[in-house]
Amino acid sequence: MILLIDGHSFHYEMENLCRIFFPYQKIHVTKEPCGDPFTVYTGLRRKDGAITLFARVKFNGWEKSAEDSISENEDQSEPEQERRMAVVLFGLLVEYCGFTPKWGIMTGIRPVKLMRLTAAETGLEQAMTDFREKFLVSPEKTELCRRTMRNEEKLLKLSHSESFSLYISIPFCPTRCAYCSFVSSSVEKTMKMIPEYLSLLCRELAHTAEIAKDLHLRLESVYVGGGTPTTLSAEQLETLLATVNRCFDLTFCREFTVEAGRPDTISPEKLNALKSGGVTRISINPQTLNDAVLNRIGRRHTTAQTLSAFALARSLGFGNINMDLIVGLPGDTLPSFRSTMDGVLRLDPESVTVHTLALKRSSSIFQDESRPAENEAELPAQMLEYADRRLAEHGYEPYYLYRQSRMVGNLENTGWAKPGFESPYNVYIMDETHSILACGAGASTKLRDPNSERIERIFNFKYPYEYISRFEEMMSRKDQVKAVYGQFHHI
């Protein structure tokens, strides 16, 4: 589809807005009119001190225009122009598509943080009113945001100025899922790198622990993610965890999570290695309990494997298990999602994270010809509605929430947990509460100044082959951590 931009520079926001309604369309943004059958036009004109904003949607014989005007007595700042233009276009797209996206025109990735900052300035009631009236967020999502904010506050209070968390990246998977934009397609090739990768990762961990010690930092949580960390063998997991235990002071550590991810990578030996390595929380991620959908998305495991991996983890004493689900998967239906949700609730995990499918360009789903029709952007919203209701009925509370770009329907990912089983790491990373020292390929260290909102980032190389071949260069980059902390003046 063609998106025409006339007289303004809000193309990024307008494109994002169009994508909410047409997640599978390729959007061509242009300043030149052309003859495509589907055109969205947005324009801005100034006259006599007033600013007029126009929008027009024209598709297959359906055509409608709308406009708004900002007088010279009103706020004419660029963000306000952009917001009001988004409101005009949003109204037309709602009318054409016949559904109202739940987050309105809000496209930022941290709505909870926005609510907290706004509430600190204007009070909670006003912040919630702004969500509903300025950004057209639905009352349910506004309330979800409020509840999440309240629940995460408990964890935020536990963080101190010297706190940090540790992230360890294991960017390997046994096969590649169709919706993945993360792992490279040549899985077999990268798997051969694991031994060398692991030995360098252990060196990076030891070096990072030295830095943390020198800076008198206090470790609050450890998160091993990926990829699928349990792609490593039991012996390799033992080596990794022994390194963490040997190098870091875990006295104050509240959480040690390992994403066990794909159920087809879980074995009694690996779970025992996690248990004896001090892991307190694992994540077993079915994504769906529908085998046909699993097959369609290229996840090479079955529902039966999920159920037996979960039972195995319980039998080995894991009392804090998270399960990840995804709404909006190709081939999934509302009844099928309901049955997945109910099946997960029967397992009674301590936490459930409900993701919305994100359509990354590099994933094979994005190019899938049998993808859902345009109006199916509404289906994930109905799935989330069901998930939120059932989780709340079963005593789970939302405690972290975030969004990514290109999420179907502009929806959200929400972490739900039973009281006391919230993952502090998830809150800290999302809120940017304190520094995250990150190790491994693709990991990014975020250094947060405890006395301000300032954040500095240090990136590791993205792919395992770069991580291995340019390791020394990366390690010297890591030494910047001390220099940056020196500038923070808090030590």
Q: Which residues bind ligand SF4 (CB under 6 A)?
A: 173, 176-177, 180, 182-183, 226-228, 261-262
CB nearer to ligand SF4: pick between 99 and 182: 182
CB nearer to ligand SF4: pick between 91 and 174: 174
265 contacts 174 by C-beta, under 8 angstroms: yes
Smallest separation (angstroms) from ligand SF4 to the CB of 328: 14
- Please name the helix (run of DSSP H) or strand (run of DSSP E) that holds residue 123, with its range, or none: none
Give exposure, 150-180, as e/b (b: 16+ Cβ within 10 Å).
ebbeebeeebeebbbbbbbbbbbbbbbbbbb
**Beta-carbon contacts of residue 299 (< 8 Å; ≥ 6 apart):** 177, 262, 287
Tokens (6 digits) for 21 = 């309604």
Smallest separation (angstroms) from ligand SF4 to the CB of 26: 23
CB nearer to ligand SF4: pick between 56 and 355: 355
Smallest separation (angstroms) from ligand SF4 to the CB of 259: 9
The β-bridge partners of 356 are 327
CA 253 to chain centre: 23
Smallest separation (angstroms) from ligand SF4 to the CB of 83: 34
Smallest separation (angstroms) from ligand SF4 to the CB of 186: 12
Count of residues in the chain: 491
Smallest separation (angstroms) from ligand SF4 to the CB of 324: 9
Smallest separation (angstroms) from ligand SF4 to the CB of 181: 8
Smallest separation (angstroms) from ligand SF4 to the CB of 176: 5
CB nearer to ligand SF4: pick between 226 and 372: 226
Smallest separation (angstroms) from ligand SF4 to the CB of 363: 9
CB nearer to ligand SF4: pick between 261 and 424: 261
- Peptide linkage before 227 cis (omega within 30 of 0): yes
Smallest separation (angstroms) from ligand SF4 to the CB of 262: 5
CB nearer to ligand SF4: pick between 38 and 182: 182
Q: Angle formed by the axes of helices 480-488 and 194-214, to 10°?
A: 30
CB nearer to ligand SF4: pick between 135 and 467: 467
CA angle 191, 197, 198 (to 5 degrees): 105
Helix then strand count (H, E) for the chain reads 17, 16
Q: In sequence order, what E strands does 213-304 have?
A: 218-226, 255-261, 281-284
CA 288 to chain centre: 18
- Comparing every residue's Cβ against ligand SF4, the nearest one is 180
CB nearer to ligand SF4: pick between 190 and 239: 190
CA angle 318, 441, 356 (to 5 degrees): 60
DSSP 8-class letter at 358: B
Tell me the C-alpha to C-alpha distance, in Å, between residue 186 and each of 177, 193, 248, 297, 372. 12, 12, 34, 17, 27
Smallest separation (angstroms) from ligand SF4 to the CB of 243: 23
Closest CA to 341 of 394, 411, 400, 263: 394
Q: Angle formed by the axes of helices 268-276 and 234-247, to 10°?
A: 10
Closest CA to 248 of 168, 160, 319, 309: 168
Strand order across the 444-448 sheet? 397-402, 413-417, 351-356, 321-327, 281-284, 255-261, 218-226, 163-170, 435-439, 444-448, 455-459
Smallest separation (angstroms) from ligand SF4 to the CB of 58: 38
Q: How many CB atoms lie within 10 A of CB 370?
A: 8
